[in-house]
Chains A and B, each alone.
Chain A
């Protein structure tokens, strides 16, 4: 589904990604781990198309289509979803209105009619229930004054609404207490199927107790230095990253 080939990326002339190779097939869960500053979030942002980063070499291919020249919204329309490490507060736009706009813009890009209001409402309620989100929460301004946990839960709620092919969860576990983590993980697991894939970006192994990865990759200094099965995560938790340098 996703092929990242020899990906190099700069920000302000400084090279952050130094040749990443990664292949993710439908139905798989991959985890990327690594110390601070290794380039984990950059990789997530580059796949999602953040313009601040300059791709100097290599490519990101989704279902055989090179995404390199696509704006972030077009990548989203093609099925890429990025759950932000720090979701942005947007005062004045409610959660409901935001997700309505996102859904309908995506449908428009696919040549579909807007989703009728009744169906939209039904869908919103269904997905909100899945993530144990209070209805009142949906009429609040997007992320404004949300706790860390509420923000992350809201990210997964949006993911549930948009049903992406490839979901990239950037540090979704940070800022979550154990109960919230369980809710979020349960949500992700329920949404997981044979046709989609998940890329987890995380610092700690904790999240991987709840969302079991098929593959774990260690990112260090802009390169994947080791790949393995889920047991690699435990090894990292025990030994830290130093032994890989």
Chain B
């Protein structure tokens, strides 16, 4: 049976299994979503938005849709994937199930907990009704698929005037308890007025088995609130990730999403910002460093609807061997959005002849008093810079690595959590196979 049929036919069983407490709104949302997914199905290369990313080979796997959680996962199995030297809240999911033993949640000043309990408890009904699936893009069929099976993920609800004292780490593990696993985590994050939160999200396969994760995150940023969101994508060669993240911002809020893609077989990021007020700042940063046959597709959207807002987008990529990158950055400036400042930059370096990058900036500007710029460069390492460094005694290999490292550094500089910055620097140094005698 094809994956699509398998998913659609298992929907009823899923709905009837252990979900009786759920509010009827959730059932209605799921039902509508499965109908949309059934109608649209998985995207194909004929779809303009999927022209350079072929999902077909991945969909041929016989995925287990509801894996049973491996109970024997302990702290020793996961500690390497946590940033341990910072105090943080942690939400650990193993094969799609929340692991309370390994997690550190809170309900004190704010709610850092799980979606399954929020869906079931009357206390959160208002939040769920107001936010769940309200900004997820219904034209993205994979997002609809996730919605149809919405059940578990992070639920972070920050009331107004709250500075969350420590970062939140959300980590989704798969253990290979089943041979081929499809995971569909769903995160809902609401940041109240004047509040501030930092979140780190990661997906990690602990086995050699195939994993496909179809993750959806909705983020609501209220007036003057600030969110810094970091995505670490450094999974095994057997793991693929489709991540759809939707952000709705109210006036004077600042939202930054930083995506670090170094690993995994295939990664697709759909990242969409919707500005719903004036004086909003949206920041999108990314570093992609790939080798072998890795594939990363970054699709971003910034929708400027109101005047006096800004967006800053900077994506850098380094592609070796036969790796392939896609950058599709869409910026819409609607007629009302006068005095918009929108900047977009995508710089790529191709190290080997077999590597490729498909870069597509898309600006749709309907307002006349705006500053919008986009820059796109695709190049190779600068030979004259290499000679310059060599002439100072730096061997060619080191010179190359240093240049590449420096190339990505302005994105690393934007990381506001020092321990995370160190970790990302280490990942980059490792990926580029360089020992740096200093911190850049």
- State whether these chains interact: yes
Binding site for B on A (CB under 8 A): 48-52, 71-73, 75-77, 80-82, 84, 87-88, 90-94, 97-106, 109, 114, 158, 162
Cβ contact within 8 Å between B393 and A92: no
CB pair A93–B440 under 8 Å, yes or no, is: yes
**CB-defined contacts of B382 to chain A, threshold 8 Å:** 88
- Closest Cβ of chain A to B426, distance in Å, is 17
Contact residues in A for B387 (Cβ distance below 8 Å): 50-51, 72
Residue with the greatest number of chain B CB neighbours at <10 A, chosen from A48, A97, A114: A97
Q: Which B residues touch A105, using CB under 8 A?
A: 393-395, 398
A11 to chain B, nearest CB (A): 13
How many angstroms from the CA of A92 to the CA of B88 in the assembled complex? Answer: 30
**Inside 8 A of A93's CB, which chain B residues have their CB?**
402, 406, 440
Name, among B395, B396, B402, the residue most crowded by chain A CB atoms within 10 Å (CB to CB).
B395
Given A97-B440, A114-B437, answer yes or no on A90-B385 (Cβ-Cβ < 8 Å).
yes
In-complex Cβ contact of A84 among B388, B393, B402 (8 A): B388
6 A-B pairs with least C-beta separation: A92-B406, A72-B390, A76-B393, A92-B409, A106-B393, A88-B388
With CB as the reference atom, state the residue of chain B lying closest to A51. B387
* Nearest-neighbor residue (CB-CB) of A92 within chain B: B406
- B24 CB within 8 Å of chain A: no
- B392 interface residue per 8 A CB criterion: yes
Contact between chains at B392 and A158 (CB < 8 Å): yes
CB–CB B398/A101 < 8 A: yes
Total chain B interface residues with beta-carbon distance under 8 A: 27
Question: Given known contacts A97-B438, A101-B402, A101-B437, is B394 in contact with A88 (CB within 8 Å)?
Answer: no
Known contacts A73-B396, A97-B440; A82 and B391 CB within 8 A of each other: yes
Can you list, as one digit per residue, whether each of B400-440 has a CB less than 8 Å from chain A (1) or not (0)? Answer: 00110111111000000000000000000000000001101
Which residues of B does A touch, CB under 8 Å?
A: 382-385, 387-396, 398-399, 402-403, 405-410, 437-438, 440
Q: How far is the CA of A240 from the CA of B352 in the complex (A)?
A: 49
B395 surroundings in chain A (CB, below 8 A): 71, 73, 105
Cβ contacts under 8 Å, A81 to chain B: 391-392
B340 to chain A, nearest CB (A): 27
A-B contact pairs, 14 of them (CB 8 A): A73-B393, A76-B391, A77-B393, A84-B388, A84-B391, A88-B382, A90-B403, A91-B406, A92-B409, A93-B402, A93-B406, A97-B440, A102-B393, A102-B394
A53–chain B nearest beta-carbon distance, Å: 11
Distance (whole angstroms) from the CB of A235 to the closest CB of chain B: 33
Contact status B393-A162, CB under 8 Å: yes
- Using Cβ atoms and an 8 Å threshold, which residues of chain B touch A106? 393
CB contacts (< 8 Å) of A48 on chain B: these are 391
Q: Tell me the bound Cα distance from A96 to B288 in angstroms.
A: 27
Given A72-B387, A101-B402, A162-B392, answer yes or no on A92-B437 (Cβ-Cβ < 8 Å): no
Q: Do A90 and B406 touch (CB < 8 A)? A: yes
Task: Assess the A101–B394 pair: CB atoms within 8 A.
Answer: yes
